[in-house]
Structure 1
Amino acid sequence: MTPQELLKTKFGYDSFRPGQQTVIDDILAHKNVLTIMPTGGGKSLCYQIPAMLEDGLTLVVSPLIALMKDQVDALNESGIPATFINSSLDFSEIDDRFAQAQNGDVKLLYVSPERLDSGAFNQLARLPIDLVAVDEAHCISQWGHDFRPSYLALTERLHELPTKPTIVALTATATPQVADDIKQRLHISEEVKTGFERDNLAFKVVRNQDSDKYLLDYLKLNAGESGIIYASTRKEVERVSKMLKKHKFSVTMYHGGMSKDQRRKNQDDFLYDRALVMVATNAFGMGIDKSNVRFVIHDSVPGSLEEYYQEAGRAGRDGLPSEAILLFKLRDVQTQHFFIDQSERDEQSKQRAYQKLQMMTQYANTQQCLQQFILDYFGEKEGKTCGRCSNCLDTRDSQDITVDTQKVLSCVLRMKERYGKSLVSQVLTGSKIQKIRDFHFDQLSTYGIMKGESQKEVMGLIDYLTAAGYLTASGGQYPVLKVTSLGGAVLQGSERVSRKVSDKATKTLAEDDELFEQLRQLRRELAEKQGVPPFVIFSDKTLHEMSAVMPANESQMLDVKGVGESKLAKYGDQFLDVILNYQSEAKTGVQA
């Protein structure tokens, strides 16, 4: 069977997405390859299809138990034999699954990176492994935002496997530096990169607003949609969750301080659509394969743009229009700064973390296209404006802030470009702290020239001017401000500066039709019966296509994207019944 035939019969798709065919061809030619595709870009298919065509076993190294179970459930639903080995199993279950892999009863075996660094490696080394897929491969790199020592150890172990398997590394978030690191450690020469753009995702930044009011308004306007709200601390997760429950929203929560059983229950409630909204710390989400998340709201600022893009990317994995919203507040940046200060990482790692946090602040303050800003960061300098983010769609009037900009830039120069935004804003607002008197900054002509503004407002302006390129902030923990050549042009009067001036929640997600809701209800009932998440049966995208096309028989149902032969045999009749009943009722209604 060819890759194309497997794609259609097992997964229900007529054609490959960009990059998939190239990766599959590389793997089948036994070339090690790094695959960089955005979340929802179809990375899993790149190794799942070769796994069915290779004689031996495909070993999938995956960091989280939830991801393993969901992917194995989805593969088994499509008639592909797969299993996993992790700490949720007892010794006899683990032995049984090793035996299945040894006997060729399964084609894919999912394991955690820690498995390869333990006594289990000897058992793995005896298996007929043809292919190793390393998922979330950015965890290998010390330059990555989610570096894990267990992944570093894994790179050495993979090269010790006696079968010398082909290696495919997969990630959605890798800067050029991280990509080079992965390739070097895994002896990879090929790279397939389809770009980081998520063309169904609308990015939005909302600055310095009452977050609680925004969340309540947004959930009211987008009722019935599934989403994730990220908060930075356990305490904040509990507070936000309690507040939303009080207003009768369908919500659950997740953080590291909860018991394992409670976390699992809440996660399942979200995956199975029993709770629409998950409020969580960043402990939640890596490896969560729920495809119908329509929005991800960050109620606090993440530590890096990689982390933000990965978490935001959990929205719209099915390709349908979805939103990623950052509620930006300066105090959250200070919280992240505190986390870095208190962490046990070495000084060099801390400096890298401070710089990543600076970039996050610039993202929140830029008036450039938000998708373009992210693509620039990941090394795609040719990115076009997306036309759908809050900056591209911003119709607010611009306010000329040239004079205020000149005040800030002039103050930075008079302070000899040796200090950060905190002290500069204190000088501009006329603060009477001892440090200012000690350095004689109260003698400067710029001292107190913005005393009508709060320090918070001036710091926000400095962040905006840094993001817009009038200032640069260099250094790690205490970045120092310097005036750029563009800033110099403003001081000389040859360049003017404007800024748009408060956002409110809006309804931007599409309405669902009545037939879609009936199909979704059937999917939920089937999922509950079988103990799998609803999206494992069919994605929202597949249900939307069913409700638009309204297939009348099995042949037409097979033409719907996401309906393969295995799923048609299991569920086709039941979904066709709902569609035919809907059409018949609609006809009766018209005749009446």
Structure 2
Amino acid sequence: MHASSQQSPVNALFDRKLIETPLDALRRIWGYPDFRGKQADVVQHILAGNDALVLFPTGKGKSLCFQLPAVCVAGVTVVVSPLIALMRDQVEELKALGIEAECLSSQQSEDESRTIRSKLRAGKLKLIYVTPERVVLPGFADLFGNVPISLIAIDECHCVSSWGHNFRKDYLGLGKLKELYPGVPRIALTATADPHTRDDIIRQLRLDDAAVFVDSFDRPNITYHIAERDNARTQLLRFLQRHDGSSGIVYCLSRRKVEETATWLNDHGIKARPYHAGMDPGVKADNQDAFRMEEDLCLVATVAFGMGINKPNVRYVAHLDLPSSVEGYYQETGRAGRDGLPSEAFMIYGMQDIVQRQRMIDEGDATDEIKRIERAKLSALLGICETAGCRRKAILAHFGEAAPARCGNCDTCNNPVETWDGSEASIKALAAVYRTGERFGAAHVIDVLLGKVTERTTKFGHDQLAVFGVGKELSVHAWQSVFRQLLALGFIRVAHDEYGALKLEPSAHGVFKKEVAVILRRDTVDVVRKRERGKPVASAARSGISVEDERLFQLLRAKRLEISKELGVAPYVVFPDTTLIAFATVKPTTEREMLSISGVGATKFARYGEQFMEIIADG
């Protein structure tokens, strides 16, 4: 336990016998037979009164690391969470498990807030969720009265770091919790943090003595596909048609594109709704609720949606625009397949995405140091997009984790990419950038390489240059790929203060002198289209169950939806897909058999068990 000059009432909690052992609580309440990964180590560390930084990928059970200790000792656990929707989801799930939990938010009426505060001070709550904005307000400590705090959990803690991808200023004030509640253990949790971000989290939250628990960042159930943009909407439609009847998210960079894409998908038979920060709050809330409640809805959104999303059966995540960083891409794709079932991540990108992202960095109001960080993060993501090797290996390497050379579950592994010696092509490309004065974007430089007589090539006399027409052996498409890869390799950069002009980097000299061999990936539209093809994927059938069991699964799924509508909760709050699949394959018909299924605790069995066993018996 950390030393402190002040003794908090909570200190005594860890010297007394536990209300319930962690494993007993895990089995009784959650219905899980055992811990996963490093969960047990984290829980024991916290129950001993120590601080922790937990870096687990989405789906590895971060929330359990603070929810379980909360029910094992007296007092209340305070959970700091950035989004009201996330708090509401977790409270809903905890109540379904029979755990007393509430959240305090600005969306509640004064009567609702007063009732929650009364329950808190009466010691009737095990967990209370609050936003970071509330924590930094004067008088926050008065909220609890004499109620002992057993644990403070700071979720999505990467928001405290300027190195991270969702920086929030209100998180900067959370370091004061160490002084406000000396002796109370604190746990900070995130799914995405590179080494720089980890160090910043520890410094900002004053977790100097915290143990760091890192689980593998690998999500082997997610298949990664990254495709060169051809016809984005057609590519997206082809992908979504493979996921008919499943829920998923499509991310777009702009609000306008979100609205237009959602409308277009509905017109083409895909049930979709938009979500972005500029929408009417009521409509936005309705669309988010629809996504939580319905099992076949595509939500088209900006990155304003999804941080900490609890829905476990999101079967796909698609990006129509390039994210800002590997961390952002990893977190957003990680919203798929939290239940461990096979899911897909699909991204379309092109040269214009890179130019747009770099312009957003250059025109932003961040400091020069932050801009440098953002450029480095974008370059790292671009490297993953342009790799000829395994996508998963490249992603994991970014987080400092070694991986096999090939994962067998990404596009470049399933359809290996051909490489070619692009040294001569690179020299031509770089020479064209130089000879045109480093004043033009890729489109014009490619026109020069192809020898196209246009108004601009004629106007600037570029049709008289020695490089005019020297690149006719490659197509426009191929040259676009060359320039993207030269950007990824750091031989050129985009100058947005000069209207997106391409500039040579010092490293380009090694290419000109033939001291550096440039090996490029050969990516054509035909190859991309081949990768996108595939058979429709059913939510349960792809887990390997029989046709007969699939039929029973669908009956169970219908019952779950019926119950969820009656209770006004999301279907996954009743039972997740993994539990329904176990019902369909194991076919439990007694209380003992049903309680042996992962995800069936005592409270859920008492509420729903008989209804599902009736369907199993009749099925």
Q: Does TM, scored on the shorter chain, surpass 0.5? A: yes
Equivalence map 1:370-519=2 (5 Å): 370-382=391-403, 384-395=405-416, 398=418, 400-402=420-422, 404-408=424-428, 411=431, 422=442, 428-429=449-450, 446=467, 448-451=469-472, 457-465=478-486, 467=488, 472=491, 480-483=504-507, 491=514, 499-502=522-525, 503-504=528-529, 505=532, 506-507=534-535, 509-510=537-538, 512=541, 513-519=550-556
Q: Which of 525, 535, 549 is the matching residue for 2:586?
A: 549
Q: Which of 33, 46, 52 is the matching residue for 1:27?
A: 46
Question: Aligned pair in 2 of structure 1 residues 160, 479: CA closer, same or farther (>3 Å)?
Answer: farther
Q: How many residues align?
A: 577
**What SS does the aligned partner of 1:249 have?**
coil
Q: d(CA) in 2 for partners of 1:270 and 1:154?
A: 31
Q: d(CA) in 2 for partners of 1:295 and 1:425?
A: 36
Alignment correspondent of 1:123:
142
Q: d(CA) in 2 for partners of 1:180 and 1:476?
A: 31
Contact 1:400–1:496 (Cα < 8 Å) also in 2: yes
Alignment correspondent of 2:267:
246
Q: d(CA) in 2 for partners of 1:322 and 1:539?
A: 15
Contact 2:247–2:295 (Cα < 8 Å) also in 1: no
Contact 1:131–1:165 (Cα < 8 Å) also in 2: yes
Question: Aligned pair in 2 of structure 1 residues 432, 363: CA closer, same or farther (>3 Å)?
Answer: farther
Alignment correspondent of 1:257:
278
Question: Aligned pair in 2 of structure 1 residues 104, 486: CA closer, same or farther (>3 Å)?
Answer: farther
Q: Which of 94, 119, 129 is the matching residue for 2:113?
A: 94
**What SS does the aligned partner of 1:392 have?**
helix
Q: Alpha-carbon deviation of 1:412?
A: 8.4
Q: d(CA) in 2 for partners of 1:381 and 1:517?
A: 39
Q: Alpha-carbon deviation of 1:99?
A: 2.1
Once the two structures are superposed, what CA deviation does each residue of 1:378-431 show, in whole Å capped at 9, x if it has no partner?
2224565321000111156x3645465454477389779999984875764568
Contact 2:432–2:448 (Cα < 8 Å) also in 1: no
Q: d(CA) in 1 for partners of 2:88 and 2:169?
A: 23
**What SS does the aligned partner of 2:63 have?**
helix
Contact 2:192–2:327 (Cα < 8 Å) also in 1: yes
Question: Aligned pair in 2 of structure 1 residues 484, 34: CA closer, same or farther (>3 Å)?
Answer: farther
Contact 1:255–1:263 (Cα < 8 Å) also in 2: yes
Bigger drift between 471-480 and 430-439 goes to 430-439
Q: d(CA) in 1 for partners of 2:374 and 2:454?
A: 29
Alignment correspondent of 2:338:
317
**What SS does the aligned partner of 1:60 have?**
strand
Q: d(CA) in 2 for partners of 1:39 and 1:120?
A: 34
Q: Which of 168, 173, 178 is the matching residue for 1:153?
A: 173
Once the two structures are superposed, what CA deviation does each residue of 1:91-110 show, in whole Å capped at 9, x if it has no partner?
23222212212221011000
Q: Alpha-carbon deviation of 1:314?
A: 0.4
Contact 1:250–1:277 (Cα < 8 Å) also in 2: yes
**What SS does the aligned partner of 1:160 have?**
helix
Q: Alpha-carbon deviation of 1:353?
A: 2.2
What is the TM-score normalised by the length of structure 1? 0.89
**What SS does the aligned partner of 1:227 have?**
strand
**What SS does the aligned partner of 2:413 have?**
coil
Letter in 1 for 2:484: D
**1:47 counterpart = 2:70:** no
Structure 2: gaps spanning 5 or more residues: 1-19, 497-501, 542-549
**1:16 counterpart = 2:35:** yes
Q: d(CA) in 2 for partners of 1:245 and 1:414?
A: 47
Q: Alpha-carbon deviation of 1:129?
A: 1.3
Alignment correspondent of 1:530:
567
RMSD over aligned Cα atoms = 3.2
Q: d(CA) in 2 for partners of 1:554 and 1:417?
A: 78
Alignment correspondent of 1:564:
601
Contact 2:492–2:508 (Cα < 8 Å) also in 1: no
**What SS does the aligned partner of 1:144 have?**
coil
